[in-house]
Amino acid sequence: MRGTLTPLAMAALELLHEGPRHPYEIHQTLLDRKMDRLVKLSPGTLYHTIERLDRDGLVAVVETTREGRRPERTTYRLTAAGRDAFAERLRRMVATVVDEYPEFDVAVELMHTLDQRDALTQLRMRMIELEARIAGLEVARDHLTKTGLHPLYWPDVKLRLALLTAELAWVTELVGELDRGELTWPASAGAGKATPRATELRLVGDEHDDEESRGETA
């Protein structure tokens, strides 16, 4: 049974659209094109990915060669099934919004358990890092623009820049609200967070109070 194509598998298949390659060449080309900014890339993981693509019939062996004492190198080509699977997966990736559970979302949900000053310190540190990353992406964007490379070959740079800029604006606003006292900090960890059981007991208690009130007025 064929599994879902991972981002690394998609990156490898994209390269094989250009012609047959062996895994080492795929790895080096992905590094040259800075694809490691988008996918987790290591030689071992890539080799396993290529082997799985081969088992699934999405790539096929062209030849296996050896130069001197170097290890054998197996060259792979993209199959028709691989081309179709790549296009199908890419369409879903473009069209479908996926819950990716980013770490920062969890952090802001749990942040109330920290001391307010501690939390503000960490948020300001994040702002500094965000500003640095934005500056780096702006340099990359300007460089790529000057090279004349078609913008559709690096839209991820603009996307990442937009996302980081939006995140910086959100964190800056949150810090400002806390500094100005417009947003107050919970008195203790978990304060203001009623559990479902606590809510149930409160509602039952309210109903009991209402019954007593009706009995007193009867």
pLDDT per residue as tens digits for the range 116-142: 999 999 999 999 999 999 999 999 999
CA 168 to CA 162: how far, in whole Å?
10
CA distance to 52, 78, 89, 136, 173, per residue, from 1 (Å): 11, 19, 16, 42, 48
CA 11 to CA 18: how far, in whole Å?
12
**Residue ranges covered by each domain of the chain:** 7-95, 103-179
Stretch among 32-41, 42-51, 78-87, 190-199 having the lowest mean pLDDT: 190-199
Percent of the chain with pLDDT over 70: 84
CA 53 to chain centre: 23
CA 107 to CA 125: how far, in whole Å?
14
- Residue 90: pLDDT band (50, 70, 90) is very high
pLDDT at 187 over 70: yes
- pLDDT for the residue 66: 75
The string of pLDDT tens digits covering residues 91-102 is 999 999 999 899
CA 93 to CA 10: how far, in whole Å?
11
- Residue 65: pLDDT band (50, 70, 90) is confident
The string of pLDDT tens digits covering residues 7-37 is 999 999 999 999 999 999 999 999 988 888 8
| CATH number belonging to domain 7-95 | 1.10.10.10
Which stretch, 35-39, 60-64, 66-70, has highest mean pLDDT? 60-64
